[in-house]
Amino acid sequence: MSLQFITGNAGSGKSVTLYQTLIQESVQNPKKKYMIIVPEQFTLQTQKELVSLHPGHSVMNIEVLSFDRLAYRVFDEMGTKVYDVLEDTGKNLVLRRVAEEKMEELTILRNHMTKPGYISEMKSLISEFKQYAISIEDFENIMEDITYPSFRKKAKDILVMYRGFQEFMKDKYITTEEILELLITVVSDSKLVQDSIMVFDGFTGFTPIQNKLLRVIMPMVEKMVCTISIDSREDLLSEPAPEELFYMSKKMAQGLVRIAKSVGVDVEEPLLHTMEEPMRFAPAGELLHLEQNLFRRTYSKYHGDQEREHEIELYRLGNPRMELSFVAARIQKMIRTGKYHYRDFAIVCANMEDYQNYIQDIFRKYQMPIFVDANSEVRFQPSIEFIRSALAMVEENFSYASVFHFLRSGMTDLTMEEIDVLDNYVRSAGIRGNQRYFNIFTVIPQYYTADQVAEINQIREKFAQKVRPFYEAVQSRPSSRKTVRQMTEALYHLLVDYNIEQRLLQMAEEFEERMDAVRAKEYQQIYPMIMELLDKMVTILGEESMDLDSYKNILDAGLEDAKIGVIPPSYDNIIFGDMERTRLEHIKVLFLIGANDGAIPKSVSTCSILSQIDRQKLKDADYELAPTEREKSFMQRFYLYLILTKPSEKLIVTYGRTGNDGAAVRKSYLIQTLCKLFPEISVQDLEDLSMEDRIASPIPAQEYLVDLLRESAEGNEDAGEIDELLSKLFGWCKGEDRELALKLLESAFYVHEDDVLRKSVLRAVNGDSVSGSVSRLEKYATCAYAYFLQYGLKLKERQEHELKSVDLGNLYHDALERYSKKLEDSDFTWYNVSEEMSMQIMNEAVEETFHAMPKAEFFDEAKEAYILGRMRVTLKRTIQVLTKQVRQGRFIPKGFEVKFSDLESLSSLRYELSDGTTLRLHGQIDRIDKFETADKTYLKIIDYKSGNKKFDYEDMYYGLQMQLILYMSAAMEAERQHSTKEVEPAGLLYYTIDDPIADLQNQTSLTEEELREKKEQEIMMQLRGSGLVNEDREVIEALDTDPRPSANSMVIPVKFKKDLTLSATSSSLTTKQFELMEQHVKRQITSSATEIAEGNVKVAPYRKGNQTGCEYCEFKEVCGFDRSIPGFGYRELKKMNKDEVMEKLVEEEQHGREEVDA
C-alpha cells in the first residue's frame, strides 16, 4: 500500500508518461486491475488517449472511470440496492413541492421561493451541503455557533427546506452526491478495488466526501497514484497561501498525505517532471517562457530571437462578433497552409454567453466545422414554450397573450397565415375566455363580413377541438383539485395529439440538411428529455393533489436545470469551450477570446443564498463549504494558467473595445501581464478585418463586396485604391452567381425616385371630384406619401378591441352633443339651468352615448362601470366649466356638431381645380357661438379636444393646422347667407375635455371657503380656451364680461393690463389678420388639392426644428423612408414667429396671392 505523486509543470508530460507506464505494466500484468479515475467530463477523452497510445489499440485491464462510475461498478459487483437517483431536475421538483408545503413555516425566504431560478439556488446549496458532508445535525450546530441575526433568520428557512427535502427523500431516493456516501459503506468488501492500481488524473482538488471515500480506498489498493500540476521549483509540501498560483495543488497533495498517514499508507517519493526537455513546447520559445513565468512572484522578461515568428499574439478588436470573425478568418488561413487540421485549434473564453449567439453563424459563413462544448438549455425550445403556454392558457382562462403564445410556438396544426387571421379577428372582436373559443364566433367587427367570420370559425374549431379536452382535464377547482398524475397524463395526450415527437424529429432532419449536426442532435434529444421529466413528476409526486399554479411551478422548476449535452459530431472539429469546463488535449493553436475586465477575472456572483459574508463566517468557524469569491478569484488564475499552457505552437489572445451592448469595456489584467513578460510583443489594434481575412470564404467575400460597392457609391476618398479589388471581387461574384452580383450592384447604387400616380388611376379612384376632411389635407401637408397610404391605399392599423384615447374623445363629443341638444329641447338654457337639472341631463346623455358606442356590448360590468364613472366625472367638470364660460360672456351657443353636409353650397367648402376636378370638403364644427350688435354678428368657433391642443402660426402657414380657420370661414359664409349684418370672427378656441387637479400647495393660511374658491379659479384657468380671439375691444368685452385688471382672463387666452387693455402676450389678432389667414388657408387648400389631383405622393415628410412628420406617423414602419439612402430627405420648413408669419401673409396679399419663397 502506497501513495505516490507525479508532479510537474503544465506541458511537462505527466499524463502521457503516466499512461505509457500504466499501459506497459498492464500488458506485463494482464490479470492485475488498473483504474484511472478522472473528472466525469474527461472520461471519453482519456479513453481515446489510452486507445491511441496502447500498442494493441485496446484497453483490456485498464478502466477509465469517474467517481460516480466507480460507485456503480462496485454496486454491480456487490449487488447493492441503490434507490432511484435524483439528478438536478428531480431535486428541483422535490424542492418546489417542499416549498409549496412549507411556505407558512418560511419567513425571510418565503417571497423569494416563487422567483425564477431561486429553487435552483436552493438546490445548489443543498447539493453543496451534500458534497461537503454537512448533515442536518451539522447545520443545526452551525446555527448554534454562528449567532449574528441576519444569518440565523436565513439559516432557519434553509433548515426548513433542507429538513423537508430529506424527509421526502428518505427510503425512496438518493441524490447524486449521496452515491459516494453509499459507496463508502460497501467499498471495503469490493474485490474490484482490492489490490488494484488506482490512478487519479486531471483533478485540481477533492471535496470532503471524496476525501472521505479515499480514506477508505487508500489502504485497500496496492498503489494509489495522483498527478499534480505544480512548478518543479515549488515545494509540494510547504504551507500554501490562498494567493499562491499552486495553492490548490499543494492543498490537494497535503490532504492526501494526511489521509495516508492516518490510515498507515506509505508515501513514496514524488516522480518529478521538469521542463528541461518539455514535451509540449519548443525549446527556448515564448510558450515555454510563459509557462515558467506566468503569475509567478518573481519572473523574467523574454528576449528571444528577433527573426523568429512570435508564438504569442495579442489583438484588440471592435466587439465579440468581430473577435469571432477574426478568429474564423485566421483559422481558415492557417488551414490553407496544409500544416493543420481543424482539430488542432481550440477557442476558449470566460463568458460563453457573450459569444454563443454568433458562433455557429460566423463559422458556417467560413464553412468550417465547430463544436461548442456547452450544455444547451431547453427553456426556450419551441416544444417547451408549447407546454408552458398550454398550461398558461388554462390558468389564465385563454387570455390573448397565452393563446397566441401557444399558437406561435410553431408546434400546432395552424399555419402562420391562419394564426395571423385569427389574431387579427380576436384583437378586433375582443375574444377572451375559454367559452368564447369553444363556441362559434358570432361577433362581426367593423370591416369584417359574415363570410370572413365563417372562415375564421373553421380556424377556431381546428384549434379548439384539440385544446378543449386538455382544458377540461387540467382545470381544477378548490373543491376538486387534480393530481399530478392526472395533469401530467393530460399534458402527455396533448403532446401526442399535436404529434410533437414527429415535429421535433422533422426539425432535426431539417438541421441535418443544413449541415448543422449539433442542433440536429439537440432536437433529437428534446422529446425523450420531456418524457423523462414527466415520468419523474409522476414517479415523485404522482398522487399529490395540487392546483394548476403549483403544478406549473413544479414543472418550471424541473425545466430550470434541464439541459441537453452533445458530443462532437466528427473527429476533426474546432473546439469552442469555456475556460474552466473544457478539456483540451493535443492543441497546437489556442485562441483565448474576450480577455476583458469582468470576464478575466470573472465578476463576483451576487445571487447565492449564502452571501460572501456568510461563507467567510462559516470558514472562520472551521466549516468547509465551496470556495469564497476571494478564493475563486485566485483559483481562476490557476485555471487560466492551465488553459494558456495548452497550445504547443501558438497562443492568440483577443479582447474587445465594446461589449455586445455597445458599451465600452476595459482590457483584462492578463493583457498587461503578458506585455510585461514579453516586451517585444505589442497589442495589434484592428479597426476592421484585413482584406485578406474578409475574402477568405465566399459568404464573407460577398459581404465585403457589398461594403466596397457602398463605399464606391458614396464617393469615398479612398475609392480609387479599391477600384482594382472591387473589379476583381465583382468579377468573381458575377462568375459564381450572376443574378446575385447584379442585385448587389443595383442596391449599392440605388437612388430613390418618387413616383407620380397616373391621372387615369386617380380618375378611377376619385372620379371627377375629390372629397375629404380638412384633416386629410393636413395629413397631406405632413407627408404626401402618408396621405396616399391612408386615403389612397386605405391602409389601417390593426383593429384593437379596446377603448383608446380617440374612442374616449368620440364619446365625450357625442355626450356633449346629446347634452346640448337635450338642453336646447328643454325649457332651460345655458344661462338658467340649475346644477341639479344639468347633472340629470348629463347622466341621460352619458348613458345613451355609452350604449350607442360600437364596442359597448363586449365590456364586462366592471369595465362598463369604470368607463361610465370616468365619463361622468370628466363631463360633470366639463359642463360646469362650459356653463360658467358661457355665463361669463354675451355669446350664445347656437350650433352643435354642425356638419359641412348641411353647408354644401358654400364656396368655402368647394374648390374648382385647374384640371377640372372639384374638391369638396366635409367635416363638422363642434360648437358655434354667436354675439350680435346693431350692425354686426360675431362668431366664436369651439373645437372640443380630449388632449391638449394649441394654435401654432407656423403650422397654419405650412398647412399643418388649417381646421379652425376653415371652420370659421364656412360658419361666417353660412351666416352671411341669411343675415344682412356684417359678419366677423370673434374667436377660434380649443377646449380640452379634462378633469384637472388644482395645485393648492402653500395655501395653508386660507379658510375652507377661500380654498374652495381658489380651487375653482385654478381649474377655470387650466380649462380656459386656447387659440385666437379678435382683439377688438367690443369683442373682448363680449367674450369676457368679468375681466380682472393685471390678470389672465378666466375664459379666453388673453391677459389684461391694469386699464383692461390686452397685454402683448395675449393670443389675439385683428379682423384683418383673421382675413389674411383665411385667404392663405384657402390658397393652401387649393395648392394641396391640386398636387393630390396631379398624383404627387412623394415620400417627403416635413421637418421643422426638432419636429418631423415621422414622429407620430402610423406608417413609418412600412413607408421605406431612410435618409441614408440617396433620394430620401425631409422637406425642411423654416421656423417663424407670429410676426414673421403675418409679414408673409401681407406679402402674399401684396403680390397677388402668389407664394413667397421662404
Nearest CA-CA partner of 272 in 13, 6, 9, 642:
6
Q: pLDDT tens for residues 1007-1041? A: 778 788 888 888 899 899 899 999 999 999 999 99
* pLDDT computed for residue 1011 by the predictor: 83
Q: What is the share, in percent, of the chain residues with pLDDT greater than 90?
A: 42
Burial class (CB in 10 A: 0-12, 13-18, 19+), 45: middle
CB 537 within 8 A of CB 484: yes
pLDDT at 860 over 70: no
C-alpha grid cell, residue 1080? 392663405
* pLDDT computed for residue 390 by the predictor: 95
Burial class (CB in 10 A: 0-12, 13-18, 19+), 561: buried
Do the domain assignments include residue 904?
A: no
* pLDDT computed for residue 1104 by the predictor: 92
* pLDDT computed for residue 511 by the predictor: 87
Q: pLDDT tens for residues 70-124? A: 999 999 999 998 888 888 888 888 888 888 888 889 988 888 887 877 888 898 8
CA 155 to chain centre: 35
pLDDT at 855 over 60: no
CA separation (Å) from 918 to 106, 1071, 1154? 78, 30, 21
Sorted by sequence, the CB contacts under 8 Å of residue 22 that are 6+ apart come out as 34, 36, 62, 197, 199
1152 confidence band (pLDDT: 50, 70, 90)? low
Query: Where in the sequence is the domain holding 159, given as residue range(s)?
Result: 88-174
HSE-CB of 971 using CA atoms within 13 angstroms: 31
Q: pLDDT tens for residues 209-218? A: 999 999 999 9
Give the mean model confidence (pLDDT) for residues 180-193: 93
Residues 93 and 197 in one domain: no
Name the phi and psi angles at 963, rounded to 5.
-60, -55
* From 756-765, 907-916, 1138-1147, the region with the lowest mean pLDDT: 756-765
Do the domain assignments include residue 557?
A: yes
- Give the separation between CA 1085 and CA 772, rounded to whole angstroms: 11
DSSP E strands: which ranges in 148-270? 173-175, 197-200, 223-229, 266-267
Pairing of β 2-8 and β 266-267: parallel
> How many other C-beta atoms lie within 10 A of the C-beta of residue 1000?
12
The residue with greater pLDDT, 409 or 278, is 409
* pLDDT computed for residue 768 by the predictor: 58
pLDDT at 767 over 60: no
Pairing of β 910-912 and β 918-922: antiparallel
Name the phi and psi angles at 772, rounded to 5.
170, 175
| DSSP secondary structure code for residue 789 in this structure | I
* pLDDT computed for residue 373 by the predictor: 83
> How many other C-beta atoms lie within 10 A of the C-beta of residue 872?
17
Residues 226 and 343 in one domain: no
CA separation (Å) from 1022 to 830, 993, 996, 999? 21, 11, 7, 10
* CATH code for the domain in which residue 327 is found: 3.40.50.300
* pLDDT computed for residue 599 by the predictor: 87
- Written in H, E and C, the secondary structure of 543-595 is CCEECHHHHHHHHHHHHHCCEECCCCCCCCCEEEEECCCCCCCCCCEEEEECC
- Give the separation between CA 733 and CA 731, rounded to whole angstroms: 5
Residues 217 and 262 in one domain: yes
Residues 592 and 651 in one domain: yes
CB 1110 within 8 A of CB 1121: yes
Nearest CA-CA partner of 372 in 381, 363, 383:
363
Helix axes 500-513, 517-541, angle to 10 degrees: 160
Name the residue with cell 456487490.
78
* From 280-284, 349-353, 464-468, 872-876, the region with the lowest mean pLDDT: 280-284
Residues 397 and 527 in one domain: yes
CB 134 within 8 A of CB 146: no
pLDDT at 717 over 60: no
Name the phi and psi angles at 228, rounded to 5.
-135, 125
Give the mean model confidence (pLDDT) for residues 287-304: 90
Give the mean model confidence (pLDDT) for residues 978-1005: 86
Question: Total structural domains in the chain?
Answer: 5
Q: pLDDT tens for residues 643-657? A: 999 999 999 999 999
C-alpha grid cell, residue 774? 380638412
* CATH code for the domain in which residue 517 is found: 1.10.486.10
> How many other C-beta atoms lie within 10 A of the C-beta of residue 507?
21
- Give the separation between CA 490 and CA 394, rounded to whole angstroms: 12
* From 1-5, 361-365, 865-869, the region with the lowest mean pLDDT: 865-869
Q: pLDDT tens for residues 119-131? A: 888 988 888 888 8
* pLDDT computed for residue 60 by the predictor: 82
Name the phi and psi angles at 755, rounded to 5.
-90, 155
Do the domain assignments include residue 31?
A: yes
Residues 65 and 108 in one domain: no
Do the domain assignments include residue 619?
A: yes
CB 607 within 8 A of CB 67: no
The residue with greater pLDDT, 631 or 649, is 649
* From 529-533, 731-735, 812-816, the region with the lowest mean pLDDT: 731-735
* pLDDT computed for residue 850 by the predictor: 77
* pLDDT computed for residue 887 by the predictor: 93
- Phi-psi map region of 859: left, alpha, beta (phi>0 left; psi -120 to 50 alpha): beta
* Domain end call among 651, 685, 719: 685
195 confidence band (pLDDT: 50, 70, 90)? very high
**Gyration radius of the chain's alpha carbons:** 41
Residues 616 and 662 in one domain: yes
Give the mean model confidence (pLDDT) for residues 1112-1126: 86
Residues 43 and 185 in one domain: yes
Do the domain assignments include residue 1060?
A: no
The residue with greater pLDDT, 909 or 164, is 164
Residues 613 and 634 in one domain: yes
* pTM greater than 0.85: no
Bridge partners for 563 per DSSP: 377
Do the domain assignments include residue 961?
A: no
Residues 444 and 398 in one domain: yes
Do the domain assignments include residue 1038?
A: no
- Give the separation between CA 1049 and CA 1067, rounded to whole angstroms: 11
Q: pLDDT tens for residues 565-612? A: 667 767 788 999 888 778 888 899 999 999 999 888 876 554 578 888
| DSSP secondary structure code for residue 445 in this structure | -
CB 883 within 8 A of CB 906: no
Nearest CA-CA partner of 35 in 224, 173, 206, 162:
224
Residues 126 and 205 in one domain: no
Helix (H, G, I), strand (E, B) or coil at 96: helix
CB 548 within 8 A of CB 474: yes
CB 561 within 8 A of CB 123: yes
* pLDDT computed for residue 320 by the predictor: 92
Q: pLDDT tens for residues 820-844? A: 988 888 889 899 989 899 999 988 9
- Give the separation between CA 925 and CA 941, rounded to whole angstroms: 7
Bridge partners for 229 per DSSP: 8
Residues 526 and 418 in one domain: yes
Length of the chain: 1158
C-alpha grid cell, residue 6? 507525479
CA separation (Å) from 860 to 401, 840, 866? 19, 25, 10
Amino acid at 800: E
Give the mean model confidence (pLDDT) for residues 611-621: 81
Do the domain assignments include residue 828?
A: no
| DSSP secondary structure code for residue 252 in this structure | H
* pLDDT computed for residue 443 by the predictor: 87
pLDDT at 1156 over 50: no
Pairing of β 1068-1069 and β 1102-1104: unpaired
> How many other C-beta atoms lie within 10 A of the C-beta of residue 708?
22
220 confidence band (pLDDT: 50, 70, 90)? very high
| Mean pLDDT, rounded, of the chain | 86
1158 confidence band (pLDDT: 50, 70, 90)? very low
